Amino acid sequence: MNNTQEKTKSKKQTIIIITLALVLVGCLVTAAVLLLNKPKEEPLNEPAKGVVGVIKDNWDTQVSSEPTDSPSQAKKGTQIPGYSSAEMNAGDMSIKLRIGNPKENHVGFYASLKLADGTVLYKSPLLSPGQGLEEVPLTQTLTKGTYDAIVEYKCVLLEDGKTPLNSAESGLKIYVN
Amino acid sequence: MKFKKIITISLAAAMAMTATVSAAAAELTEQNPTGNTEVTAHINGSAGNVSYIITIPDVVDFGELVQPSNNDNFYKYVDYEVKATKLEGLPDLHHIGVYVKDQNAVVKGDTDFYITNKNDPSIKFKYDVFHRPIDDTTQYTISINSDTMTGTAGYKLYDFFYEGDTLDGTLRLNQNQLYGRNITDIAGEYSGYMVFFSTVEENP
């Protein structure tokens, strides 16, 4: 091998190494750009949390909200949500059930989910108007079958969170698949 | 040759790396923010949702009671309202049945309605519940609690078939219960709490 050939080979190697380095740098830059441009997760207003589960501050009954009475016609009262049924799978430790305090109210709620035999499946902390859950954590799971249950709403004065008012219970069926 | 191999492997690795980053980035979209693939199934829309809203009175408030001078009936009436504020998502041919009981009522036990002295719970006075307006209630009108309370839900109060249906009811306390009592003993604030039970029922 003569000098010219060696020089040519060396040149080729240098070009290849530079090319390789450029490709690698390009890849790294691309990766960095993609990762850095990932949309940042907006910090949410931390909702109040119960013993377990998430209580939202902007809970809505999801039934139409057109007022049926003018304020002058409507008598003072407390709105109580009612249910037909709820569903879950055997073994689940939560159930999709919209338990909460309608935003139109001016009282606090302590909500409980109970079976007809008195078994308590969930107890909420004080729910202010507009607070509620969409998925309710359970103290125990249920086996396959149909259960009679109630959502109990104990109403209290918001001012102190303990002076009792009239209360309500909504009966429903829980279907466990 | 050796260099060609190195270059080939390096380029392949670099391309694979690029592809991996792209795929990871593509998964984190608004449509799939967690980056997980989720298999969903049809879920009954009404299950777990609020199907109806009933508006109940906040408190039982008879205001100031008066001790009568004799033992004759001396009624005090107050009105209350229960309303089907919203009725949505009910099965066909069903309505909302509403029941009521005293907070301490027990089937086969004491099923009367009471207001109780806040300082001395042993002092309490009965009141009656009617499912008709004050104007339609006389001393001869039969209260819902004159019947026997057979279920834990309480006494049947009303059936709501349509949104906006309203029950104008009456509570009645006979102040002759105060007759002959030492006013110093019974003076004070009283409170009583009703429990309203609602459930979806088949139409008759």
Split at pLDDT 50, 70, 90, the class of B28 is: very low
Q: Rounded to an integer, what distance in angstroms lies between the CA atom of residue B48 and that of residue A174?
A: 9
Q: Rounded to an integer, what distance in angstroms lies between the CA atom of residue A109 and that of residue A93?
A: 23
Across the range A104-112, mean pLDDT stands at 96
Residues 64-103 of B with CB under 8 A from A: 81, 83, 85-86, 88-91, 96, 103
Q: Shortest Cα distance from B70 to chain A (angstroms)? A: 32
Question: Are the beta carbons of A169 and B96 separated by less than 8 Å?
Answer: no
pTM, two decimal places:
0.72
Q: DSSP labels for B83-104?
A: EEEEE-SPPTTEEEEEEEEETT
Question: Which residue's structure tokens are 């190195």?
Answer: B6
Q: Which residues of chain A neighbour B115 with C-beta distances below 8 Å?
A: none
Residue to mutate among A14, A73, A75, with most B CBs inside 10 A, is: A75
- What is the pLDDT, as a whole number, of residue A3? 63
Q: Rounded to an integer, what distance in angstroms lies between the CA atom of residue A60 and that of residue A128?
A: 12
**Two tokens, residue A108:** 């606090």
- Predicted interface score ipTM higher than 0.90: no
Can you say how many angstroms the Cα of residue A110 is from the centroid of all Cα atoms in its chain?
A: 19
| SS3 at position A175 | strand
- What is the pLDDT, as a whole number, of residue B86? 93
- What is the pLDDT, as a whole number, of residue A72? 43
**Two tokens, residue A139:** 């103290």
Residues 158-177 of A with CB under 8 A from B: 164-172, 175
- Rg, Å, chain B Cα set: 32
Q: Give domain A85-176's CATH architecture.
A: Sandwich (2.60)
Q: Per-residue pLDDT tens for B120-147? A: 999 999 999 999 999 988 888 999 999 8
Task: Give the side-chain half-sphere CA count within 13 A for B148.
Answer: 4
Q: Per-residue pLDDT tens for B69-115? A: 999 999 999 999 999 999 987 888 999 999 999 999 999 999 999 99
Q: DSSP labels for chain B?
A: -HHHHHHHHHHHHHHHHHHHHHHHHHHSSSSSTTS---------SSTTS--EEEEE-S-----S----SSSS--EEEEEEEEEEEEE-SPPTTEEEEEEEEETT--TTS---EEEEESS-TT-EEEEEEESS-GGG--TTSPPGGGS---STT-EEEEEE-STT-EEEEEEEEEGGGGTTS-HHHH-S-EE--EEEEEEEEE--
> For chain A, what are the domain ranges?
85-176
Q: Rounded to an integer, what distance in angstroms lies between the CA atom of residue A155 and that of residue A107?
A: 6
The helix (H) or strand (E) run that includes residue A6 is helix A3-36
